[in-house]
Amino acid sequence: MAIVFWAMPVQAQSVLTSDPQAGVTGHIVVVSGVTDPLTYLANPDGSLNFPLAGFSPGPYTFVVYAIGNGGWRSGPSAPLDATKPASVLNVRIE
C-alpha cells in the first residue's frame, strides 16, 4: 500500500492529505515531537486529511499507518519530512 501525501490549504489552514485507499477506515499519524500517535477517521474514500492548525511553524517528520475494516493495520508509510510554513501553501508532494 502506498500512501502519498501533499500539503494543501483547506479553509485557510495547512492540511496533510493522502490519496484514497480502498478499505481504509482510519489512520494513525506519528509526528516527530508529539509523544502519542494521533488517530483520525478516514474520509469515506479512505483518504486522510490531517489538519496542521495546532502545530507551530517548523520542521516535522510524519509516518502514517492505515487502519482497515476488521481492525487490520498497515505497515508504516515512508517518513515524510516537511516544514509547516508560517502561512498557508499549496504544494503537492509525491
Which CATH number fits the domain that encloses residue 9?
2.60.40
Closest to 81 in 3D by CA, of 33, 26, 28:
33
Please tell me the predicted confidence (pLDDT) of residue 3.
55
Q: Which residues span the domain enclosing 46?
A: 5-84
Residue 93 counted as domain residue:
no
pLDDT digits (tens, 9 = 90+) for 30-49: 998 676 888 889 999 999 98
| Number of independent structural domains in the chain | 1
- The phi, psi pair for 27, rounded to 5°, reads -140, 145
Query: Is residue 94 situated within a structural domain?
Result: no
Radius of gyration of the chain (CA): 13
Tell me if 40 is assigned to some domain. Answer: yes
Confidence (pLDDT) at 53:
79
Q: Extract the residue ranges of the chain whose pLDDT is less than 50.
A: 6-11
